[in-house]
Amino acid sequence: MHNTKNGFEKIEAVTFDAYGTLLHVDRVIERLRDELSKIGITTPFEAVQNAFLTEVGYYKAHHLEAKDPDRLLDLRHRCAEVLFDKLAEQGYAGELSPEQKLAVLIEGIHFKLHEDVLLVLEWCKSKGLMTGVISNWDCSLPEILNDRLDRHRFDVIMVSAIEGINKSDPAMFYRAAERLGLSPSRILHVGDEMENDLHSPQKAGWNAVLLDREGHRKGIEGPSIRSLTDLPSTIEEMLYHRP
């Protein structure tokens, strides 16, 4: 055992949430408006935003169904229909094929890395820490991560749709610990959602840090950070400095 005076064991792995922690969507409303304009549909920002948020809600409710490429394609078509149905409900519609609707959705949603990601992953590597991703996402996530992080390979990538289990279930974290080959108490998870990224891993015996990029979360029970660049000092403080 590698216990410190605070009762923590030595952390040997750090896992990250994907959306909101590692990745964000790049100017999604502007990009969707541009794609709609290309096919002759001019829409105000608010109407597109309403449609996109409706689509996101549908995706979240159904993302577990997209465990393979065929099912993912089906889900994307349904999400595109939800997007355009909401636009039509607001008075912005056009005669479009399912393929045209899907193209607008796909071209409008582009994921980018947050600026602090590469620095913290390099730090983890320099300290000999294993790294992983645990996320509520469809089966496309590993490919997205490989495209955005061609210089970094995670030791484990746990995707809810592939695993068939939502991250809010601590079983996802038990399973991840088994694949990492570590005791849960030697793993730290970082993410931006209270239930999925703080409470659920803690229930599985993990350490957890909440990422609060906007500083809007109040009354957080446990460590929190505003940027991933704060993570190294937070880990050191957790392990060595707090009484």
Amino acid 151: pLDDT: 80
Find how far residue 181's CA is from the centre of its chain: 23
Edge-first strand listing for the sheet containing 13-16:
156-159, 130-135, 13-16, 187-191, 207-211, 224-225
pLDDT on residue 9: 63
**pTM of the full structure:** 0.90
Would you tell me which CATH number, out of the four given (3.10.20.340, 3.40.50.1000, 3.40.50.11540, 3.90.1580.10), belongs to the domain 13-24+112-241?
3.40.50.1000
The model's pLDDT over 119-157, given as tens digits with 9 standing for 90+, comes to 999 999 999 999 999 999 999 999 999 999 988 999 999
- pLDDT score of 189: 98
pLDDT at position 14 is 97
| Long-range CB contacts for residues 222-227, cutoff 8 Å, separation at least 24 | 222/198, 225/190, 227/116
Condensed to tens digits (0 to 9), the pLDDT of residues 61-87 reads 999 999 999 999 999 999 999 999 999
Return phi, psi of residue 136, to 5°.
Answer: -80, 105
Domain ranges (residues) in the chain: 13-24+112-241, 27-109
Determine the pLDDT at residue 241: 47
Phi first, then psi: what are they for 121, rounded to 5°? -70, -35
Question: Are residues 178 and 196 in contact, defined by beta-carbon separation less than 8 angstroms?
Answer: no
